[in-house]
Structure 1
Amino acid sequence: MKSAFVTVGTTSFEELIAAVTAPETLQVLRSLGYGRLVLQVGLGAAAPAPFRTAAFTLDVFRFKESLAEELERADLVISHAGAGTCLETLEKGKPLLVVVNEKLMNNHQLELARQLYRDGHLFYCTCSTLLESLKSIDLSTLKPFPPGQPEKFAAFLDRVIGFE
């Protein structure tokens, strides 16, 4: 049974929670073979009740120390466009659909999502286009995200500070 994980980060993004739990969206997820949906709802007031049926499970939580376990189990991650969440998901090699919060001012999240989309690492949409995006995206076309190279940053910092 495939699992989808939705995360809103440390704030609230109630529009995303409402969009992903709409009956039409749940039906599309089921038709795509997802039998489990896990929601991390953050500070939002919207916290749907968990449920289990023979064909589908919905689990809900606000926060955890780490999302690593949920990311590991997920076959698809649907996320807000926070840089940390995007990078952690991509580094784990998980397919990512970023949902941009259009209500944010000076939306740097949209810039990040667009660039990572152009590079072929993720798909992005808005809450109003989530349903159509789920129906149309081909996760097999995503390119692996290259691993970080912290030693390059350390060498750069050494040069700048004068340790070389």
Structure 2
Amino acid sequence: MREEMDSGKSKKMVFVTVGTTCFDALVKAVDSPQVRHELWSKGYTHLVIQMGRGSHFPSKFSGEDGSLAVDYFTFSPSIADYLKSASLIISHAGSGSIFETLRLGKPLIVVVNEDLMDNHQRELAEELADKKHLFCASPQTLHQIINGMNLDSLVPYPPGDSVPVAKLINSFFSFPDN
């Protein structure tokens, strides 16, 4: 990937991941003109969507007309390079995706899949959002979160600090804190 676009504007890539699941609501949300406009207005130039098992295929745009360039794929042996090169990550609420992104120190918007039963992922995402480590959205509110986000307000997640996660898990399963 080139670091600069021909126009001289710095490349700022947004990477979206749904993991191995089907999360068409998230893919449709990032494919919407509202979300693409909000990302472009925040200075992002490229949007790469890992759509997993979903059936909604996003619209591809080259960005040659001065708009947000959009590309997608279903699966990759590793998304590590995408995560490392992204300026912003929009992810499903899987704990592996969340903590891998936080470990890299990347700004993160977690979009909760409201169709899941017994949604412990929402609790994890909201807890980390309350602590200002990430932003939390639903597919319906994603464009509003992007519009209002201030990346400077995020607090880095302390590496190797498993105590908050352990407390959240203990709370979820009603185990006593030690």
Q: TM-score range by the shorter chain?
A: 0.7 to 0.9
1:47 matched to 2:64: no
In proportion to residue count, which structure has more helix?
Answer: 1
Counterpart position of 1:155: none
Deviations 1:30-60 (A, max 9, x none): 1111110000000001122432022231111
Aligned residues: 150
* 1:119 equivalenced with 2:128 (yes/no): no
Highest Rg: 1 or 2? 1
Q: Give the unaligned 5+ runs of structure 1.
A: 151-164
Match of 1:67 among 79, 85, 91: 79
**Code of the aligned partner of 1:4:** V
Find the counterpart in structure 1 of residue 89 from structure 2.
Answer: 77
In structure 2, give the amino acid aligned to 1:84.
Answer: G
Letter paired with 2:62? R
TM-score (norm 1): 0.87
Q: What does residue range 91-106 of structure 1 map to in structure 2 within 5 Å?
A: 91-106=103-118
The corresponding residue for 2:69 is: 57
Pick one of 8, 33, 37 that aligns with 2:18: 8
Q: Distance in 2 between the 1:114 and 1:26 partners?
A: 24
Q: Does 1:36 align with 2:46?
A: yes
Name the structure with the higher strand share.
1
TM-score by structure 2 length?
Answer: 0.81
RMSD: 1.3
Distance of 1:95 and 1:139 partners within structure 2: 7
Q: Give the fraction of aligned pairs with identical amino acids, expressed as a percent.
A: 47
Matched, 1:23 2:33: yes
Note the C-alpha offset of 1:24: 1.5
Equivalences for residues 128-143 of structure 1 within 5 A: 128-143=140-155
- 2:120 is matched with 108
Listed as ranges, the gaps of 5+ residues in structure 2 are 1-10, 163-178
